[in-house]
Each structure stands twice: as C-alpha cells, then as structure tokens.
Structure 1
Amino acid sequence: MTAPVRRAGVFALICTFSLAVPLFGPRVGAALAGGILLAAYVVTDGPIFELLAYPGDYEDSRLYGLITFVLSGVALGLMATAASMPVAVFVGTLLLVGFGNLGEQLVRLRTERSVVRVGAFCLAGTAAAVVGQTISHSLASNVVASIMPNVIFLAASGAFLAALLRDVLLRSDDPIVVLSVGLLLWLLAELEPSIGEWEILVALAVTIALGYASYHLETASIAGMLTGILLGLLTIVLGDYRWFAVLISFFAIGGLSTKFRYERKEALGVAEDNNGARGSGNVLGNAAVALVAVLGYAASDAGFLPWDPVLLLFAFAGSIATAMSDTLSSEIGSVFETPRLITTLEPVEPGTDGGVTWQGELAGIAGAAVVAGIAYGLFPDVGSTGVAIIVAAGIVGMTVDSLLGATLEGTMLGNQGVNFLATLSGALISAVLVLTFPVIA
C-alpha cells in the first residue's frame, strides 16, 4: 500500500468520526474534533507527520492541511447543530470527500487515466454519502425509504461538485471542497425536490452518458464534463426534462460548432485551446445564469421566493438563447477574414474581441431561434409572443457580448466574465419583456 493510499485512508477514518454527532450528540463530536486538532498541532515530525503532511506543511513543520480540513468539518458541524443544516448533510459531506479521495487513490494504483480516477472518486463519494445520510436519517427516526431518492440526489450532486473542485484546485484545498459541497447540499436539501427513485437513477444515467460523450468527442475537458453533468442533473431534478432539453441543445450544438472548420480556425489563430474542448470556466460562464434561474424556479415553486415560476423559465431560456447565439456567432463567424469592430465598424483582425461578421450574426440569430423553437414545442407558456421574446433576448445578449468584448474584455473583464454578463443581460431582457407583454396570464 502506497503512502497516498495510507494518507487517504487516515483522512477517510477521520471523516468517519462525523457519525459521532448523530450517534452520540454534538458534544462527543466536538471532543473528537478537539482531540484530532490537538494531535495535529503537536505532531511536528516522525512517521505520522510524513504520512499526513501536505507539501506546504514541511516549511513550518506543522500539519496545517489536516488542521484546516478538520476545522472545515467543525464549521459544518456548527451549522448542523447551531443552524438549520441537516445533520445528514454534515455527515454525508465529510464521508463523501474522505471516501471519495480514498476510492480515487485506490484506483490510481491501477491506472493514471484521469477520467477513470474521477469516476472512482464520484462513485466512492456518492456511495459513502448515501450510507452516511441513511444512518443519520435512521437515527433521527426518519422513514429512510421515502427519502432515498433525495438522499441519492444529494450524494451524487455533492460528488460531482467535489470532483470538479478537486480538478480545478489543489489537493490541499480539500477544506474549500468540504465547505462548498456542504453549502450546496444544504441549499438543495432545503428545496426538497420531489423525485422518485427510478427518476433520479435515470437522470444520473442520462447526464453521465452525455457528459462522458462530450469528453470522448473532445468537446469538453474533464472539468467541463463534470460541470455539464452537475448542471444537467440539477436542471432535470429541479426543473424537468424539458428544461434539460433546452440546456442540452446549447451544449450539443455549441460543442459541435467548436469543431466547425477547426483547421481553418487554427490557421487564423482563433481556435479554442485544448483541441476545442471546453473547460469548466467556459461552461459556467455560459450556463451559470441558467443554473441560478433553475434554482430560483425551484425556490419559487416551493414558496421560498415570491416570483412567478414562469418568469424564471423565460430568464432561463433567454440566458441559453444568448449563450447559443454568442457561441454560434463566434464559432461560425470566426472563419471569415473580414470581421468589423462592433463599435466603429472598422475592419479588424480575425479573433479580435468585439469583431463581428454578418455571417456570424446570422448564425447567432439562428441559434436563438433554435432555443426559442425548442422552448415553444416543450412549454405551453411559451406561445408565439414568447418565441419572439426569447429570440430578442438572445440577439440582445449576443450584442452585449460583442460590445463588452470591444470595450472591456482584456482590461477589466476576462472572456468568462463577458460570457456571464452577456447571458445575464439575455435573462434580464427576457424577464423584462415577459413582464411587459401579455405572456403570463
């Protein structure tokens, strides 16, 4: 057994102590955490230090990695005992991160393939979180069978988020992973989505299959794949498959458009890096607003927000229409050699931020129309007026993206920031138009 596996095993054991809270109460849990923190502070060298130390711990001969990890668990424990975070979320989060890491390290003994290791982390983390939540609910005298679909949903969502964060952060940043996963699962638990056991299993199968397909086709990196899976799962469970169909239309068509005349884009120097595979930043820049709209829809549907859920549906569609319009206008318009700066209409070099072509503009309008058409076919609330609103939102958002690219990108904003603000503008325009015109009865 290698040192990384032994280290992961110790951390998994430490995470198991979180079960002391539902088993024996918060005081016992606090005493165990205090004992571990004291031991981590006292141990400054020797085999135990070598086993548990992160690379940055050697400079001061202190197990800061372990200390901050335990403190992140203590912070969640305080939320579970002093606030309204469910104890099951606290336990499930710690077991997820600890045993997910152990599963990944065990698989690493056999293969260095990143996608396999990430899969092992998600599988082991999900299983551990399900077990932890189930034990916590049973000790609280909850009917486990009736809440099992939500238990699986929370466990899987947390595992994908944790895997994503671990892919883009350092391994020593696990305290950030613990807190981020715990807060997300707390939010999702409060929304109390109503799903069946087979529904969540089918949703997982669909999103994982499509996510892996995007990775295999090299339209997404591992981080992009994980982001897409998480977004898809949340969209299906908190919205439904109709919302997912709108979302996946962007990922599918937008991803394929990246491959459109890729050699030509490489020759012009405007091709996406990593052979066109989109990472988590690109996916989130284009879909973060849509995710917020889905969460807002679930919250308003549950009575936490006073907004009409249909308003958030149009905000969602407007943001996706913007993302589709912008992606198609960039990926198709970039192969033409005579773009013009949107602010002055002067000719600029291909790839210049804010440069547009008439071919790209037409492609962007067509992309918004595709999203509007899908929404029209799936949602009764989207009539002919709704189609016009979604197309208009996509065009406005695409234009905002070009204007920001010509004025602020590269100085005050990065590409992902521009994408986020553009999709936000598309969502807001869609919502404002819905309130202005008689779409909502």
Structure 2
Amino acid sequence: MSQTVRRAGAYTLVSLLALVAPVSPAVADRLALPATVGDSAAVGIPTAAVVTAAPFVLLALAAFVVPEDSALFDLFARPSDYEEGTLYGLVGFSLAAAALALVGTSFDLPMTVYVTSVVLLAFGTLAEKASLELSSDRFLATTAFAVAAFGAGVLAQVAVAALGETAFTPPQAVFLAASGAMLAALLRSMLYDRDDPLVMTSTALVLWLFADLPLDLTATQVVVAIAVSLALGYASYALQTGSVTGVLTGTLLAFLSVVLGSYGWFAVLISFFAIGGLSTKFRYDDKLDRGIAEENEGARGSGNVLANSAAALVALLGWAAHGHIGVPQDLFLFAFAGSVAAAMSDTLSSEIGGLYDDPRLITTFQTVPPGTDGGVTWQGGLAGLVGACIVGLISWVAFQLSPTGTGVVVLAGVCGMVVDSLLGATVEGTLLDNKGVNFVATTAAGVVAAALAVAVGIVAF
C-alpha cells in the first residue's frame, strides 16, 4: 500500500469524527451544559455545535505540533506539507469540518447534510487513490470516487438516524448521497488535494439547498434518475463527446433534471447533450483543417457544459423552489426550455455553419475567414433554426405545450443564437471569452422565453 493510499485512509478515520454530531445534543444534556455558548440564546452558538466541532478543533491544534520526523507526520503529510514542515492539509480539513459544525448548525444546517458532506469526501478520495494504484485511467478513478462517496453518503445518513434517533427517509438519503457524490467528484477532478475544505464546504452548501427544497421524492424516481444519468455519462465518455469533468457535469445535470423536474425535463436536456455532442464530432477532421474544431478531439469540458447549461440549471432550481420564491412555476419551465433551445441552436449553427465558406460578420455582413467570432453563414443559421425547433418539439411533447408555447421556445432559442453571434462579433476576446458568451446568450434566451410566455398570456402572475 502506497503512502498516498495510507494517507487517504487516515483521513477517512478523521472524517468519522463527524458522527459526534448526532450524539452531541445527548452529550450536552448528560453534562448539563447550557443550550448555547454565548451571551444569550438569540446570539449564542448551540452547545451541540460546539461539542461537534471540538474534536476537529483539537485535531487541528495537534496537527501544528506533530514532529516532522515522526511516523504520524508521514501518515498524514501531503507533498506540500513536507515543504512547510507542518500538516497544513490536516489542519485545513479539520478546521473546515469544525467551521461547518459551528456556523452551519447555528443556521440550521441539517445534521445529515453535515455528516454526509464530511464523510463522502474522505471515503471517495480513498477509493480514488486506491483506483489510481491499479490503473492510471482517470475516468475509472473518478468513477471509484463517486461510487464510494455515494455509498459512504448513504451509510452516513443511516448512522445519523440511528445515533440521533431520527427518521430515515431512503429516497431523500439516496438523492442527497448521489448529488453530493457527483458534485464532490466533479470538484475533486478540477481541484487539488489541498482544496478539500473548498470541496467539503461547497458540497455541504449545495446539499443544504437540496435538503430545503419541498420535494416529494419516490424511490423509483431517484433510482431511475441514477440509472439514466450513469448511462448518459458512460455513453458520453465512450463516444468521447466530453472530458472526464464534462461527463461529470452532464451526469450531475441529468440526474438533477429527473429528480427536481421530471422525465420531460431530462428529455429536453438530453437532446442538447446528445445532438450537440454528436454535431461537434461531425466531420471533425474537416473542422480541424479549417481551424474551427473543438479542442481535445471535440470532447467538451465542464466549463463548456456549464456555460451552456447554467441558465437551465438555475431555472430547474427555480422550478423546484418556486414555493419559496413566489413566482409562477411555469415561468421557470419556459426559461429552462428557452435556454436549452439557445444552446442547441448556437451549437448546431457553429458546428454545421463552420463547414461552409464565405461566412459574413453578423454586424457588418462583410466576408470573414471561417471560425471568426461573429461570423455566420445561411447554412449555419438554418441548422440553428432546426436545433431550436428540435428542442421546441421535444418541449411540446414533454411539457404538453400549446402551439404558441412551442413557438415561444423556438423563438427564444433563435434569439439566443443571434445574441451569441452579436457578442462574438463585438465583445468576445475582449470582455468575454467563448464560455462567457455562451452563458450570456443562453441566459438571455431563458429571459426572452419567460418574458414572451408572460406577454402572450401563457403564464400569468
């Protein structure tokens, strides 16, 4: 067993200190401690949170004084720790867990979310490091992380229910564990080991949001969501339409679309991932010769996926949380469909239109070289219109839209394509990069779709 795997194993043992959380109220009662630590119940920190954080704080303090030439130092040390002569990695991990306990619990962070976020990160990392000992395949290592993190997340919630004598709801437990595992795997694939505090905190905050949503989950829905998202992830990787981080991002978005929305939302989203991804591969060698091909053999990364899907994700979350927002739920449905239509329209316009000669700059109509930002062809415009119509038709079936509602989605998608070209001709390369342009264009399309739905009377406030 390598030192890397041993270190990851040691961190998994440290993460189990989070299980103090469900028993901390009983410990505080047994010791006859006051309910809060502070001047008053209104501003004080719950004593249970202090009890939960205490082991991590003590461990962080101990990490500062561990001798550099000791076996304990070698067990926990990361390469950067040897340079500094201090176990800063362990300090950061411990203090992040302690801060979540103190701050999060004071603001009603669910105990299941706290324990799950700490534990799944450590166990996922252990599985990832062990996988890399057997194979250098990053996809397999990331898969190992996600699977182990998911299992640890579910078991963590079982333990919280047992130790804290609280109810255990399997659908929600699986949903939170799967969401946390995929999100943590995505962040871990993009960051370094020393960024554990960021991964842990980000996972906790997102799971906190999900736990607070008024969801009516069923076991079938969650299981199907996991199955279809994993199938999508594997197909994307096998067809090389996405990098490891791109596959993870798409898989997470697909999972959330089923759970937070419905199978119809998934169908709309998957249309973009499937057709958009394949269009990138279409006549790839020709695009390479023309200098317009996507990097990494057309495999889209997480930044590209998020740039095209962030607006749709926000709309999806808005749909699920509409009761807290006070906005008509269908407004988010049109924003979602419109943003996806724009992503599809722009992708097909670029990938198909770039294969034709004599593109013209959309602002001046002057002929420009292929691949010029803001350069358009009539063939690309037609392909973009077809892409918007595809999403519109799928939305018509999935959401049972009226012909007017379908037209709203198509028009919003075309508007997004035009906005993308206008931004490409004016500010891309100076104020925004390609991902920024995609994000603004899809967001604009979502806003246009929502506004049109209100204007024509489909959605009423």
TM normalised by structure 2 equals 0.92
Kindly provide the CA deviation profile for residues 169-216 of structure 1, in whole angstroms up to 9, marking residues without a partner as x: 112211110011000100000004212222211210111011110110
- The aligned counterpart of 1:149 is 171
Corresponding position: 1:341 with 2:361: yes
- The aligned counterpart of 2:152 is 128
Give the alignment of 1:166-177 within 5 angstroms: 166-177=188-199
* 8 Å CA contact retained: 1:242, 1:379: yes
AA partner of residue 78 (structure 1) = L
Corresponding position: 1:286 with 2:312: no
- 1:84 match: secondary structure: coil
For residues 195 and 24 of structure 2, the distance between their equivalents in structure 1, rounded to whole angstroms, comes to: 29
* 8 Å CA contact retained: 2:352, 2:383: yes
- The aligned counterpart of 1:85 is 109
AA partner of residue 443 (structure 2) = L
Task: Give the one of 211, 229, 232 matched to 2:233.
Answer: 211
For residues 75 and 212 of structure 1, the distance between their equivalents in structure 2, rounded to whole angstroms, comes to: 37
- The aligned counterpart of 1:440 is 459
Corresponding position: 1:332 with 2:356: no
Give the alignment of 1:221-232 within 5 angstroms: 221-232=243-254
- The aligned counterpart of 1:411 is 430
Task: Give the one of 368, 371, 381 matched to 1:351.
Answer: 371
How much does 1:439 deviate? Answer: 1.4
**Of 344-353 and 48-57, the range deviating more from structure 2:** 48-57
- 2:224 match: secondary structure: helix
- The aligned counterpart of 1:367 is 387
For residues 108 and 267 of structure 1, the distance between their equivalents in structure 2, rounded to whole angstroms, comes to: 36
TM normalised by structure 1 equals 0.96
What is the percentage of aligned positions where both structures have the same residue?
50
- 2:431 match: secondary structure: coil
Corresponding position: 1:57 with 2:84: no
For residues 192 and 123 of structure 1, the distance between their equivalents in structure 2, rounded to whole angstroms, comes to: 27
**Of 158-167 and 187-196, the range deviating more from structure 2:** 187-196
How much does 1:320 deviate? Answer: 0.3
- The aligned counterpart of 1:186 is 208
- The aligned counterpart of 2:42 is none
Task: Give the one of 248, 253, 256 matched to 1:234.
Answer: 256
- The aligned counterpart of 2:64 is 41
- The aligned counterpart of 1:379 is 399
CA RMSD in angstroms comes to 1.3
Give the alignment of 1:243-258 within 5 angstroms: 243-258=265-280
How much does 1:280 deviate? Answer: 0.4
- 1:238 match: secondary structure: helix
AA partner of residue 18 (structure 2) = S
How much does 1:158 deviate? Answer: 0.6
- The aligned counterpart of 1:31 is 54
- 1:219 match: secondary structure: coil
AA partner of residue 256 (structure 1) = L
* 8 Å CA contact retained: 1:44, 1:63: no
The count of corresponding residues between Structure 1 and Structure 2 is: 436
AA partner of residue 17 (structure 1) = L
- The aligned counterpart of 1:196 is 218
* 8 Å CA contact retained: 1:246, 1:320: yes
For residues 14 and 238 of structure 2, the distance between their equivalents in structure 1, rounded to whole angstroms, comes to: 36
For residues 311 and 117 of structure 2, the distance between their equivalents in structure 1, rounded to whole angstroms, comes to: 25
- 1:423–1:402 Cα change, 3 Å: same
- The aligned counterpart of 2:7 is 7
How much does 1:44 deviate? Answer: 4.7
- 2:84 match: secondary structure: coil
AA partner of residue 37 (structure 1) = A
Kindly provide the CA deviation profile for residues 201-239 of structure 1, in whole angstroms up to 9, marking residues without a partner as x: 121011101111011001111111100110011110000
- The aligned counterpart of 1:321 is 341
For residues 194 and 390 of structure 1, the distance between their equivalents in structure 2, rounded to whole angstroms, comes to: 28
Kindly provide the CA deviation profile for residues 275-302 of structure 1, in whole angstroms up to 9, marking residues without a partner as x: 10111001000001000000000001xx
- The aligned counterpart of 1:305 is 325
AA partner of residue 117 (structure 1) = A
How much does 1:259 deviate? Answer: 1.1
* 8 Å CA contact retained: 2:415, 2:445: yes
AA partner of residue 160 (structure 2) = S
How much does 1:137 deviate? Answer: 2.5
AA partner of residue 272 (structure 2) = F
- 2:134 match: secondary structure: coil
Kindly provide the CA deviation profile for residues 143-186 of structure 1, in whole angstroms up to 9, marking residues without a partner as x: 32xx1111011001111111111111112211110011000100
How much does 1:64 deviate? Answer: 1.7
- 1:76 match: secondary structure: helix
For residues 31 and 268 of structure 1, the distance between their equivalents in structure 2, rounded to whole angstroms, comes to: 61
How much does 1:62 deviate? Answer: 1.9
Corresponding position: 1:388 with 2:411: no
- The aligned counterpart of 2:442 is 423
For residues 432 and 80 of structure 1, the distance between their equivalents in structure 2, rounded to whole angstroms, comes to: 37
* 8 Å CA contact retained: 1:80, 1:87: no
AA partner of residue 423 (structure 2) = L
For residues 325 and 44 of structure 1, the distance between their equivalents in structure 2, rounded to whole angstroms, comes to: 60
For residues 318 and 128 of structure 1, the distance between their equivalents in structure 2, rounded to whole angstroms, comes to: 38
- The aligned counterpart of 2:141 is 117
How much does 1:122 deviate? Answer: 0.7
For residues 321 and 140 of structure 2, the distance between their equivalents in structure 1, rounded to whole angstroms, comes to: 35
* 8 Å CA contact retained: 2:258, 2:266: yes
**Of 108-117 and 391-400, the range deviating more from structure 2:** 108-117
Kindly provide the CA deviation profile for residues 44-72 of structure 1, in whole angstroms up to 9, marking residues without a partner as x: 51232233222333333222222111121
AA partner of residue 53 (structure 2) = A
How much does 1:138 deviate? Answer: 3.1
**Of 128-137 and 282-291, the range deviating more from structure 2:** 128-137
